[in-house]
Amino acid sequence: MNKFFKTFSVPALMTLFITACLAQSVQAESPKADRMATARYQAGLGKSLNDKEVADFIANNRCVSATQFQLCTEAGIALWLDTDQSVKTVYLYLNSADGFAAYKGELPFGLKFYDNLGAVEYKLKKRGVGNAGLPDATATPDRLHYWATYKQVGVTIIYNAPSPDEDATIHSILVGK
């Protein structure tokens, strides 16, 4: 009987140990997973900071107020507020830029963080955005990043190049209402 107990107890203890470790691992990831699940930029557009969904997003992502912005660095998002304290534009930082973690949520129009300018224009053309995928307006306001604006859908894509270089990748995306 004692031999049976020892033989049975070793696998039982290993199973218990593995289960405990897995449960602890899942618990440790839950808050971050919750924050990422709430990092949906569309939900807050046009809403007031007093809106429950926006207020919860700001609290869950430990956003910091800075003049006209709510900086949610861990989520890779900045919220630009209008004078009425409503969310006017959402900045999605894709490559751990400017002190922000990379945004991990879904991007508009099936875009991916690694898409270059050619891929972006192709994807937008397939969805009927812009003039055959080309932007309505372009600019290089900081002389470092090329900005392509698609007014009909309220999106500006900022690239990691000062000009419309085919190989330029997305730096960030601005989504407005």
Strands in 17-169 per DSSP E: 64-66, 69-72, 77-81, 87-93, 137-139, 146-150, 155-159
pLDDT surpassing 90 at residue 162: yes
Query: Which pTM was predicted?
Result: 0.74
- What pLDDT score does 147 carry? 97
* Whole-number percent of the chain with pLDDT over 70: 77
For the segment 5-38, what is each residue's pLDDT rounded down to a tens digit? 444 333 332 333 333 333 333 334 434 433 333 3
Q: Which of 66, 63, 83 is nearest to 75 (CA)?
A: 63
pLDDT surpassing 60 at residue 93: yes
Q: What Cα–Cα distance (Å) separates residue 108 from each residue in 12, 40, 90, 128, 163?
A: 49, 11, 12, 13, 22
pLDDT band at 40 (very low <50, low <70, confident <90, very high): low
Rounded Cα gap, residues 92 and 80, in angstroms: 11
